[in-house]
């Protein structure tokens, strides 16, 4: 038998609160996933500031009605779990994409990322993008590379001149000692 109206209102309120602060939401079909696999996925999600929750499609539709997230309605069929990320790092997208590689029965349905609808293919493409720390490292490397090359280029003629002068000095010193 179904749960009471009060329970459903509480679930809707909870989902609305989560969605209001979410940076990314990924919908997955979790049919065929064992309880142990779901527990492991939830534990990984918690460690990355991602909520992994299961909710009824009808209640999710009620929450997203009249919002920009309403575009997710077309993906709300069959068993649905949500990966909700809050910190803007797209951890929910990456986490659930990686989980689909390890859990054959987990399928991405779509998502809502940075205020826009993302199809299953879009979610996969976003998941393959490098993370924030990797992008910063690449950017810093790109900034340092021209400076390093400039210093090397400026240093090469000077060190070449120093080696040439040193060779001349050694030759003269060698010539002076040989002639005396």
| Higher pLDDT pick, 147 / 81 | 81
* Rounded average pLDDT over 26-53: 89
Domain boundaries, the chain: 5-129, 130-180
Report the alpha-carbon distance of residue 58 to residue 117 in Å, rounded. Answer: 19
The token duo for 89 is 């790092």
Query: What is the per-residue pLDDT for 176?
Result: 53
Query: What is the per-residue pLDDT for 178?
Result: 46
Over the stretch 48-66, which tens digit does the pLDDT of each residue have?
Answer: 888 999 999 999 999 999 9
How many other CB atoms sit within 10 Å of the CB of residue 177? 8
* Percentage of the residues of the chain whose pLDDT score is greater than 70: 89
Task: Give residue 43's Cα distance to chain centre.
Answer: 18
* Rounded average pLDDT over 14-33: 90
CATH of domain 5-129: 3.30.70.1730
DSSP calls for 21-67: H-SEEEEEE-TT--HHHHHHHHHHHHHTTEEEEE--HHHHHHHHTTS
């Amino acid at each position: 038998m179904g749960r009471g109206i009060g329970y459903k209102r509480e679930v809707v309120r909870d989902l609305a609160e989560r969605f209001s602060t979410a940076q990314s939401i990924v919908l997955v079909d979790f049919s065929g996933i064992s309880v142990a696999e779901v527990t492991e996925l939830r534990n990984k999600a918690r460690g990355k500031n991602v909520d992994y929750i299961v909710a009824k499609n009808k209640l999710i539709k009620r929450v997203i009605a009249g919002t920009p997230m309403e575009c997710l309605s077309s993906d709300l069929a069959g068993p649905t779990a949500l990966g909700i990320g809050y910190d803007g790092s797209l951890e929910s997208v990456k986490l659930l994409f990686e989980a689909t590689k390890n859990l054959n029965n987990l399928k991405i349905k779509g998502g809502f990322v940075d205020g826009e609808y993302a199809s299953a293919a879009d979610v996969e493409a976003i998941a393959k993008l490098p993370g924030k720390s990797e992008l910063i490292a690449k950017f810093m490397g790109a900034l340092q590379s021209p400076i390093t090359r400039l210093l090397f280029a400026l240093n090469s003629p000077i060190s070449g001149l120093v080696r040439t002068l040193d060779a001349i000095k050694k030759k003269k010193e060698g010539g002076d000692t040989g002639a005396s």
